[in-house]
């Protein structure tokens, strides 16, 4: 497995997005555990989760608990950087709400620590800006958790360039990651990607294959990805991840998976080296 860096930690160039294993349509626990274990066997050392990755109102942190169990039952579990997030909530009716208050973020971090069974969270990210709370107050809470040793590294998610710069300033240059949506169908995060490249901050594309419902349709929706995939004898999804990796050494995609075969295909993407002509065609697609 090729590697990249998040802060001072070396991680696999492809991470595992664990959300599909806990929300609506999730598989049974045995398949989820098999998916995480397959990822570890393939060399994946970054797993993305969040306290809001759950389905029902009474199971907050379902995904964090699942990941903790999967890592505890595999020899390679100790080598994984777990990235989790706080500030987003799911009331249990399928909706998403926000709470970026410092009090909530502090409480959420404590609960994530307990569920993950660690003394300090490897990477903790503010999940999404809350319009009711000044951004500097939310990120300030993350800074305080970092200063107190509750988290080892700090990041933000769903942030525009101005917020990236602000967060980097509030954290005193210790912002290590930005997790934004980015895929062939959603490219408006290009400015954030370029800024992260300039600043040396890891950029973690979420839903890089288009999201749970559309990942399987990537090839049919984006013909150049399908054409290059057919020529190379690989999946369009693998081409997509290789395309992202070629954009910058700070890019670390976190494709979601709930089947072993899916993460195994994604984990092979760093071995696919696309030509400059292929990259130009995909950029223009």
What residues are annotated to the active site? 53
Exposure string over 55-68, b if 16+ CB within 10 A, otherwise e: beeeebbbbbbbbb
Is the CB of residue 115 less than 8 Å from the CB of residue 64? yes
For the record, the structure tokens of 241 come out as 């991840």
Instruction: Compute the CA torsion angle 31, 36, 42, 47 (nearest 10 deg).
Output: 150
Sheet strand arrangement including 81-86: 16-17, 46-48, 81-86, 123-126, 154-157, 175-181, 202-206
Instruction: Compute the CA torsion angle 210, 179, 281, 230 (nearest 10 deg).
Output: -50
Q: Are strands 88-89 and 154-157 parallel, antiparallel or unpaired?
A: unpaired
């Amino acid at each position: 497995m090729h590697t990249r860096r998040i802060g001072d930690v070396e991680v696999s160039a492809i991470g595992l997005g664990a959300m599909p294993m806990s929300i609506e349509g999730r598989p049974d626990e045995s398949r989820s555990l098999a998916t995480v274990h397959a990822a570890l066997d393939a060399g994946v050392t970054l797993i993305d989760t969040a306290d809001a990755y759950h389905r029902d109102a009474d199971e907050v942190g379902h995904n964090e608990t699942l990941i903790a169990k999967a890592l505890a039952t595999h020899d390679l579990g100790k080598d994984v950087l777990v990235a989790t997030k706080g500030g987003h909530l799911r009331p249990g009716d399928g909706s998403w709400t926000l709470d970026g208050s410092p009090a909530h973020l502090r409480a959420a971090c404590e609960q994530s620590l307990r569920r993950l069974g660690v003394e300090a969270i490897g990477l903790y990210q503010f999940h999404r800006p809350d319009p009711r709370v000044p951004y500097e107050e939310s990120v300030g809470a993350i800074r305080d958790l970092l200063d107190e040793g509750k988290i080892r590294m700090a990041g933000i998610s769903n942030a525009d360039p101005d917020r990236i710069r602000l967060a980097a300033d509030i954290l005193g240059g210790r912002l290590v990651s930005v997790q934004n949506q980015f895929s062939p169908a959603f490219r408006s995060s290009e400015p954030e990607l370029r800024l992260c490249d300039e600043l040396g901050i890891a950029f973690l594309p979420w839903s890089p294959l288009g999201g749970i419902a559309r990942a399987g349709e990537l090839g049919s929706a984006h013909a150049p990805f399908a054409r290059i995939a057919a020529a190379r004898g690989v999946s369009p999804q693998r081409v997509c991840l290789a395309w992202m990796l070629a954009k910058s050494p700070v890019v670390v995609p976190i494709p979601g998976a709930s089947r072993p075969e899916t993460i195994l295909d994604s984990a092979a993407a760093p071995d696919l080296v696309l030509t400059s002509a292929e990259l130009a065609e995909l950029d223009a697609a």
